[in-house]
């Protein structure tokens, strides 16, 4: 099934518009990938193909860039992405127990998306809010000083 983007545009014309607006210099590649990822939730093969045609950059290069950066995904993700910080400051502050609770509540392994496509659970390196570790970010909401007991209630905020 073709993925639709805002305003009923198809992916190819959405990508085309982006390239027209931002230019086809190679330096624009990562900003454009950001936009595609934001709009579709991931970077589809179709988007990569169209980008390649418009920017005259090999698909292999685009794919290698898109898979290098953590904020970009070439796999579809759930409606809500949960990022769990697994770096040392959060770990020392009790992150391990929070991670256990998250996994138990969601029934997901690291990197997995739930069958109903609601959740994607990923781990991440430091998010720069270490003063309040352990930290999880759901979509763009930052939760700090999280305890394992709070996890079920946090998840209830999202449909």
40, 49 in Cβ contact below 8 A?
no
Q: Which is nearer to another protein, 4 or 157 (CB)?
A: 157
88 binds another protein (CB under 8 A): yes
71 binds another protein (CB under 8 A): yes
If you write DSSP's letter for every residue of 48-70 in order, what string do you get? HHHHHHHHT--HHHHHHHHHHST
CA 139 to chain centroid: 8
The interface region with another protein, picked from 14-22, 44-52, 113-121, 126-134 by CB under 8 A, is: 126-134
The interface region with another protein, picked from 6-14, 45-53, 63-71, 113-121 by CB under 8 A, is: 63-71
3 binds another protein (CB under 8 A): no
107 vs 158: CA distance, rounded Å: 16
126, 87 in Cβ contact below 8 A?
yes
Q: Which of 1, 2, 41, 34 lies closest to 18 in space, CA to CA?
A: 34
154 binds another protein (CB under 8 A): no
Q: Give residues 130-149 in contact with another protein (rule: CB under 8 A).
A: 130-133, 140-145
Contact map string, positions 17 to 56, toward another protein, x by CB under 8 A? --------xxxxxxx-xx----------------------
The angle subtended at Cα 26 by Cα 22 and Cα 29, nearest 5°, is: 60
List of residues contacting another protein (CB under 8 A): 25-31, 33-34, 57, 61, 64-65, 68-72, 86-89, 91-93, 96, 99-100, 103, 110, 123-133, 140-145
């Amino acid at each position: 099934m073709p993925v639709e983007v805002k305003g009923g545009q198809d992916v190819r014309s959405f990508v085309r518009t982006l390239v027209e607006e931002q230019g086809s210099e190679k330096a624009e590649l990562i900003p454009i990938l950001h936009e595609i990822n934001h709009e579709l939730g991931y970077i589809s093969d179709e988007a990569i193909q169209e980008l390649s045609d418009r920017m005259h950059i090999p698909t292999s290069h685009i794919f290698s860039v898109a898979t290098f950066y953590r904020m970009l995904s070439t796999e579809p993700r759930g409606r809500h992405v949960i990022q769990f910080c697994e770096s040392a400051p959060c770990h020392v502050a009790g992150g391990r127990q929070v991670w256990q609770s998250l996994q138990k509540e969601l029934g997901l392994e690291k990197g997995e998306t739930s069958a109903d496509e609601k959740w994607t659970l990923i781990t991440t390196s430091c998010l720069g809010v270490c003063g309040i570790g352990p930290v999880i970010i759901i979509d763009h909401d930052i939760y700090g000083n999280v305890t394992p007991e709070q996890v079920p209630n946090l998840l209830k905020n999202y449909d």
